[in-house]
Amino acid sequence: MHLIDGPVPASAIAELLAKAGNDAESGAHSLFVGQVRRDEVEGRQVKGIEYSAYEEMVITEADKISKTILSEFNDVRGLEILHSRGLVGAGEISMVVLASAGHRKQAFSACSKAVELIKEKLPIWKKEIFEDESGRWKANEAL
């Protein structure tokens, strides 16, 4: 688990994949990329999201998520999580999850479950920032 200042650069995803390739026993990598959406709220457009985190707890909880995934999916060989802190503009990447497994089925399932656990368990908060620089704290919605 790594917290990254600002948006997650596409190069960080390439680095994750390159690193995952070092494990030649894996046959499938499932990648989730979360992007800040330009929502419209009461006529105002979201310019970006300001993320804040309880960093020490994020690391300990992410470690628990990895252990849960690895114990629940016996074909999964690794889980990587990147998440932004600070301001991420609309259209930029705020989260990346990469689940590596021997075969595709568990890679897909593990990636999906990890994303849900991240949203449920990691102490991270987001404030939508509008074009007039006003802000609004936002809670996670189902799916």
Partner 1 sequence: MEVSVLFFGVLADVTGTRIRHYNEVRSFGDLRHRISDDFPELFHYNFRIAVNNEIVDSDPVLQPGDEIAFLPPFAGG
The candidate with the shortest Cα–Cα distance to 127, out of 81, 83, 82, 86, is 86
**Nearest-CA neighbor of 130 among 39, 43, 44?**
44
Q: Is 52 in the site for partner 1 (CB under 8 A)?
A: yes
Q: Does 125 bind partner 1 (CB under 8 A)?
A: yes
Residues 1-20 that bind partner 1 (CB under 8 A): none
Residue choice 77, 93, 126, 130 for contact with partner 1 (CB under 8 A): 126
Interface pick for partner 1 out of 51, 65, 79, 98 (rule CB under 8 A): 51
Which SS3 state, helix, strand or coil, does residue 132 take? coil
- Written as one string, the DSSP assignment of 99-121 is EEESSHHHHHHHHHHHHHHHHHH
57 interacts with partner 1 by CB under 8 A: yes
# residues near partner 1 by CB under 8 A: 27
